[in-house]
Structure 1
Amino acid sequence: MSETEALLGDLRAEGDELDGLVAGLGGAEWRTATPAPGWSIAHQIAHLAWTDERAVQAVEDPQGFADEVRRAWTAPEAFVDEGAERGAAEPPEALLELWRAGRERLLRTLAAQPPRARLPWYGPPMSVMSMATARLMETWAHGQDVADALGVRRAPTARLRHVARIGVRARGYAYAARELEPPAEEFRVELTGPDGELWPYGPKDAAQRVTGPALDFCLLVTQRAHRDDLAVRAEGADADRWLDIAQAFAGPPGKGRAPGQRDGGTARGSVAGGGAAGNRAGGAP
């Protein structure tokens, strides 16, 4: 199995896990509020369906997607919400089928691309692997909102490695999104995976570093938790500053979530968290 096939398998598994949370919900339950202000469970699934559709469009109709991007940046704080609102207005059964069909189409589309293809997106162009990783990251992050709304504690999986990796690699983008100059030096990031394995990123001898549970780091970079509620630690002023602004998603910076919004977890004080992030949902496209 190639690396791309394995990643697409993980993307499928992430979608299937979230599908299992919502498939049996009644109509009224789809309107349950999630930690993202103004977004119900229906909004969360509608957003994923909308973003999967945009990802397919980026591959199959680059010019049409470029037009979409231009329209989006005329109202950067609203276009994601508008897409979610349209989808959430659909009957739950129709929305669920739309999301399922879109997931399958996205998987087929990405699997058919040349490994070195570069795909346009709302931020910098991405490789096929990066696009698949971004879709997995968003599925996991919005799935966290759904799980929080339903009071479900999800068991972390090794698929978090993909979320962690994109969070580390998006360091420069987090600064650029705020019109800040990123530090010239790399950081060392050492995360502990769900099975206790160490996931290292960056040079071993870096002067500044970030350490902690992979789950907490993923909650942080997807802005599903305030760092005060997480056991992620920084050594060095620049690394500390990064944890305040980290985001794994393209688009404008999110407001993040207030401290103390989660119970349980692995953190300083309370722990791992919920709340609104970029464009309400915490993961702009």
Structure 2
Amino acid sequence: MFDSTPVFDDLREESAEVDAIVAALGPQEWASPTPAPGWSVAHQVAHLAWTDRSALLAVTDEAGFQACVEKALASPETFVDDGAREDAGLPPAELLTRWRAGRGALDAALRGARPGARFPWYGPPMAAASLATARIMETWAHGLDIADAVGVVRPPSKRLRHVARIGVRARDHAFGVRGLTPPAEEFRVELAGPGGELWEYGPEGAGQRVTGPALDFCLLVTRRAHRDDLALHADGPDADRWLDIAQAFAGPPGAGRPPKGDAR
């Protein structure tokens, strides 16, 4: 049986690293703008807190989570921003306490989940380990926005493997959410991990492939950087198209980040 404990541990570690950054900030720094237009550091933390609460509902209260889904369906373009605004105006200490409490409750619920259980989400239902993987992806991405806002450099860690994996698995979703037919064939994806190791996905003999640094791939699929600024290479027209639209998260794609050389 698959042991989910290491995934839950990685989520706890990823959250703790972001927590350490924001806990050291003064009140004015919580208002610092991040690369996400209109979002301050407080908005980023509030979004993480809100999404952790949503995940906790998915694990413990399916009816309560369904109410969240209905809100999302009613306003698909704004519900993420609306969720961030719920807590963003709280005093920083209170917001941080709320995030810590929520993610602690989620950690306990995931670890106590019945083996084999699947839980609803904004995309397909997920097992506890997959839900934790999704939380790692979002925590890393929003933590990166926070770090960029306050001038902190976060070196890549082995936990990026979770982000890369969900990015690869979400390939068909990236096509489908844009009304495109996903390619019939699997791609080969080969990524250089932060320690120099090779992370491999898909059949070795696939006719289309993507290669490059794992960090760059994770930046791409979380839409934290434009493809033009990344050292990723595609072989094959469908793989090349994928690098233009890849995303690791459910919901609409959003505008993404412009190239660094774009003055707009």
Same fold (TM over 0.5): yes
Offset at residue 67 of structure 1 (A): 1.8
Distance 1:135 1:261, change over 3 A: farther
String of CA shifts for 1:183-229, please: whole Å, max 9, x gaps.
Answer: 00000000000000000000000000000000000000000000000
More displaced stretch, 134-143 vs 2-11? 2-11
Structure 2 partner of 1:153: 153
String of CA shifts for 1:126-171, please: whole Å, max 9, x gaps.
Answer: 1111100000000000000001101121110000000000000000
User: SS where residue 74 of structure 2 aligns?
Assistant: coil
Structure 1 partner of 2:197: 197
Structure 1 partner of 2:46: 46
Question: d(CA) in 2 for partners of 1:233 and 1:3?
Answer: 34
Counterpart AA for 1:83: G
Counterpart AA for 1:147: A
Question: d(CA) in 1 for partners of 2:215 and 2:105?
Answer: 29
TM-score, normalising length: structure 1 = 0.90
Offset at residue 3 of structure 1 (A): 3.0
Structure 1 partner of 2:107: 107
Offset at residue 62 of structure 1 (A): 0.5
Question: d(CA) in 1 for partners of 2:89 and 2:101?
Answer: 18
User: SS where residue 189 of structure 1 aligns?
Assistant: strand
User: SS where residue 113 of structure 1 aligns?
Assistant: coil
User: SS where residue 33 of structure 2 aligns?
Assistant: coil
Counterpart AA for 2:58: A
Counterpart AA for 1:112: G
Alignment of 1:134 with 2:126, yes or no, is no
Counterpart AA for 1:118: R
Distance 1:138 1:261, change over 3 A: farther
Query: Structure 2 stretches of 5 or more lacking a match?
Result: none
Structure 2 partner of 1:250: 250
Question: d(CA) in 1 for partners of 2:46 and 2:186?
Answer: 37
Structure 2 partner of 1:16: 16
User: SS where residue 199 of structure 1 aligns?
Assistant: strand
String of CA shifts for 1:97-124, please: whole Å, max 9, x gaps.
Answer: 0001111111100001123111100111
Counterpart AA for 1:51: T
String of CA shifts for 1:44-75, please: whole Å, max 9, x gaps.
Answer: 00000000000000111111211210121111
Question: d(CA) in 1 for partners of 2:75 and 2:12?
Answer: 32
Structure 2 partner of 1:266: none
Structure 1 partner of 2:163: 163
Structure 1 partner of 2:56: 56
Q: Aligned pair count?
A: 262
Which structure 1 residue ranges, 4+ long, deviate > 2 Å from structure 2? Answer: none
The root-mean-square deviation of aligned C-alpha atoms, in Å, is: 1.3
Query: Structure 1 stretches of 5 or more lacking a match?
Result: 263-285
Structure 1 partner of 2:223: 223
Structure 2 partner of 1:67: 67
More displaced stretch, 146-155 vs 131-140? 146-155
User: SS where residue 29 of structure 1 aligns?
Assistant: helix
Offset at residue 87 of structure 1 (A): 0.9
User: SS where residue 212 of structure 1 aligns?
Assistant: strand
Q: How does 1:82-97 map to 2 (within 5 A)?
A: 82-97=82-97
TM-score, normalising length: structure 2 = 0.97
Offset at residue 180 of structure 1 (A): 1.1
Question: d(CA) in 1 for partners of 2:84 and 2:96?
Answer: 13
Structure 2 partner of 1:279: none
User: SS where residue 190 of structure 2 aligns?
Assistant: strand
Counterpart AA for 2:190: E
User: SS where residue 182 of structure 2 aligns?
Assistant: coil
Counterpart AA for 1:5: T
Structure 1 partner of 2:98: 98
User: SS where residue 73 of structure 1 aligns?
Assistant: helix
Counterpart AA for 2:188: R
User: SS where residue 182 of structure 1 aligns?
Assistant: coil
Offset at residue 261 of structure 1 (A): 6.6
Offset at residue 42 of structure 1 (A): 0.2
User: SS where residue 64 of structure 2 aligns?
Assistant: helix
Counterpart AA for 1:186: E
